[in-house]
């Protein structure tokens, strides 16, 4: 199942760190970012999380929530979040419900092996639950600045 820019995001409910349940219904009226990353405690995922952390106050000023999403367990996420002092929640998606919804599971290659994994992607959803921006095959350098600018431009 997939949807495109300018369309409402289908309702979802997911478990996140801090014993939080994240659902589209509860997020209505708020802008939010979902950034999908491959794995806790890996260099690229640390860098991306730190970039969102470092601009967190600017996202707050733009009235935009941030959620990181990967397939790791809540226990793994709690440790990752604490270690790098991320001020936002991380969503655990072990059954790939959100990953499938946003179509981020792709064939990847590493060390000559092929596998299905999360393609680093970010989505900006407006306060009405409409997908306003998507970034796929994300390169981390400068990416979070781009997301922030897009969030600031949304009213």
Res 1 pLDDT > 80:
no
The pTM is what?
0.94
Residue in the structure block whose two tokens are 């400068």: 142
Res 132 pLDDT > 60:
yes
Q: Which residues contact 62 (CB under 8 A, 6 or more apart)?
A: 31, 148, 151, 152, 154
Question: What are the structural domains of the chain?
Answer: 13-153 (3.40.30.10)
What pairs with residue 108 in β-bridges?
115
pLDDT of residue 138: 92
Res 137 pLDDT > 80:
yes
pLDDT digits (tens, 9 = 90+) for 45-101: 999 999 999 999 999 999 999 999 999 999 999 999 999 999 999 999 999 999 999
Q: Is 99 annotated as catalytic?
A: no
Chain mean pLDDT for the chain: 93
Res 29 pLDDT > 90:
yes
| DSSP assignments along 38-75, one per residue | S-TT-HHHHHHHHHHHHTHHHHHHTTEEEEEEESS-HH
Options 22, 27, 45, 144, the catalytic residue: 45
């Amino acid at each position: 199942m997939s949807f495109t820019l300018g369309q409402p995001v289908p309702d979802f409910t997911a478990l996140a760190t801090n014993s939080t349940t994240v659902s589209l219904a509860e997020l209505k009226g708020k802008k939010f970012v979902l950034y999908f990353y491959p794995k806790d405690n890996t260099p690229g995922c640390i860098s991306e999380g730190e970039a969102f952390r470092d601009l967190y106050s600017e996202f707050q000023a733009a009235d935009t929530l941030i959620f990181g999403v990967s397939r790791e367990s809540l226990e793994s996420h709690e440790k990752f979040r604490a270690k790098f002092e991320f001020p936002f929640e991380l969503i655990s998606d072990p059954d790939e419900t959100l990953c499938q919804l946003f179509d981020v599971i792709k064939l990847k290659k590493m060390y000559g092996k092929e596998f299905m994994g999360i393609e680093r992607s970010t989505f900006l959803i407006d306060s009405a639950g409409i997908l306003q921006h998507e970034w796929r095959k994300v390169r981390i350098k400068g990416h979070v600045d781009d997301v922030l600018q897009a969030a600031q431009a949304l009213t």
